[in-house]
Amino acid sequence: MSETWTEQHIPDQHGRVAVVTGANTGLGFETARMLAERGAHVVMAVRDVEKGKQAAARIDGDVTVQVLDLASLDSIRSAAADLRASHPRIDLLINNAGVMYTPKQTTADGFEMQFGTNHLGHFAFTGLLLDQLLPVAGSRVVTVSSIGHRIRADIHFDDLQWERSYSRVAAYGQAKLANLMFTYELQRRLASHGTTIAVAAHPGGSNTELARNSPAALRVPFALVGPLLAQSPAMGALPTLRAATDPAVIGGQYYGPDGLGETRGHPKLVTSSPASYDLATQQRLWNVSEELTGVRIDLDR
């Protein structure tokens, strides 16, 4: 396969079911669009159903909309129950939705918003849907991280919810690092099953709405330079799509743009920060995530 991987390399997806979180805008929309155009039935899992329906109307393909608020465990459980009832099998679960640099606030369950939404929400959602994925040969869980996982990269177990002090940039870095650690630990636990793999991706710098909560000091530079340096959402979605569909992908891999600093370009296999590979921290994060969400992911069966 060509090193310059493009939308044209996405294999035929007819007969496959893909669930994409945060699919009504930006990277999620482009991911959903391209999968649907290749024949997949795509479930657009979104917080705002009306916006989801408007987005679905712009896609030429088989799409449905499912309400999902990743900042609410009740909503996550309800959405997962709906999907289990309507889709006996799921081929692709793409954990794309996220928030970035939010002011200090908490989810409905009292978790810091970025950690609660980006990591804990997807951890719970994945755990509740794994029974739909495990029987399906070739199924994948793809979780979207960020080059921001390298910023002050650490899992602050002594203050996971940033109750003592809050840095929106460091909190985002922790959440995105957690996405990678979850992927690596999930893959380790899935390996013996031989059907489902876990893979990660990041979009580089993409011109989406995600940076709308950036600190005031960064908003002007982002507004001036962002459109020049950032790539389109369609390009930013390609690493996710390669992780989800490239037949050569194996579990535990991480894909991002091939340009300078991985900020833009076509998707390639990349490496994450050294901190992300720490096995003890991965396992500790997994255990803490189960305790906080009440979702136990039992793969020893």
Residues with catalytic roles: 172
The torsion angles phi and psi of 47, rounded to 5 degrees, stand at -75, -40
User: What single-letter amino acid sits at 251?
Assistant: G
Give me the sheet containing 62-67, strands edge to edge: 62-67, 41-46, 17-21, 92-95, 139-144, 196-201, 254-257, 267-269
Region of 229 on the Ramachandran plot (φ > 0 left; ψ -120 to 50 alpha; else beta): alpha
> Is residue 131 a contact partner of residue 243, using CB atoms and an 8 Å limit?
no
Helix 26-37 with 238-245: angle, nearest 10 deg: 40
